[in-house]
Amino acid sequence: MGAAEDLFDLTDPDVSVRECAQCHEPVAGRISPDGTVNVTCGYCGREDAVAALVRPSGEGSGESAYRGKDRGASGRKLPLTLDLSKPPPGMTGREKRDALRKAWVEAKTSPVPDDDEARATHEYRLVWLAGSLSSAALREKELVRARSVLEAALEKVEIPQYRAMLLARLARLAAQSKAVPLAQAWLARVPPKMRAPEVVTDVRVAEAFVAREEEGPRGVLDVIGHGDAASAFSGPLRLLAVALRTDAHEKLGEHQEALATWTSGAKAGSLMLGSYAALYGLAPETRKRAFRRGYVALVVLVAVLWAVVSLLRTTIAGEPMTLAPFVVVGVALVVALGMKATRR
Higher pLDDT, 299 or 195: 195
pLDDT band at residue 298 using 50, 70 and 90 as cut-offs: low
On whether the CB atoms of residues 10 and 177 are closer than 8 A, the answer is yes
Check pLDDT > 60 for residue 1.
no
Q: Over the stretch 130-151, which tens digit does the pLDDT of each residue have?
A: 999 999 999 999 999 999 999 9
Q: Which of 288, 279, 229 is nearest to 255 (CA)?
A: 288
pTM comes to 0.82
Q: What is the pLDDT of residue 340?
A: 59
Q: What is the pLDDT of residue 5?
A: 42
Check pLDDT > 60 for residue 80.
yes
Higher pLDDT, 58 or 142: 142
Q: Over the stretch 309-332, which tens digit does the pLDDT of each residue have?
A: 777 877 887 777 777 766 766 766
Check pLDDT > 50 for residue 221.
yes
Check pLDDT > 70 for residue 294.
no
Report d(CA 196, CA 162) in Å as an integer. Answer: 11
Based on the number of CB atoms within 10 Å of its own CB, is 36 exposed (0-12), middle (13-18) or buried (19 or more)? middle
Check pLDDT > 50 for residue 7.
yes
For 338, what's the count of Cα atoms within 13 Å in the CB-facing half-sphere? 10
The three-class DSSP label of residue 6 is helix
Q: Which of 66, 16, 5, 7 is nearest to 185 (CA)?
A: 16
Q: What is the pLDDT of residue 41?
A: 92
| Summary count for the chain: helices (H), strands (E) | 13, 4
Higher pLDDT, 234 or 67: 234
Q: What is the pLDDT of residue 299?
A: 65
pLDDT band at residue 52 using 50, 70 and 90 as cut-offs: confident
Check pLDDT > 90 for residue 305.
no
Higher pLDDT, 335 or 233: 233
Check pLDDT > 70 for residue 179.
yes
Query: Strand pairing of 15-19 and 26-30?
Result: antiparallel
Average pLDDT over residues 270-296: 88
Average pLDDT over residues 102-112: 97
Average pLDDT over residues 156-165: 96
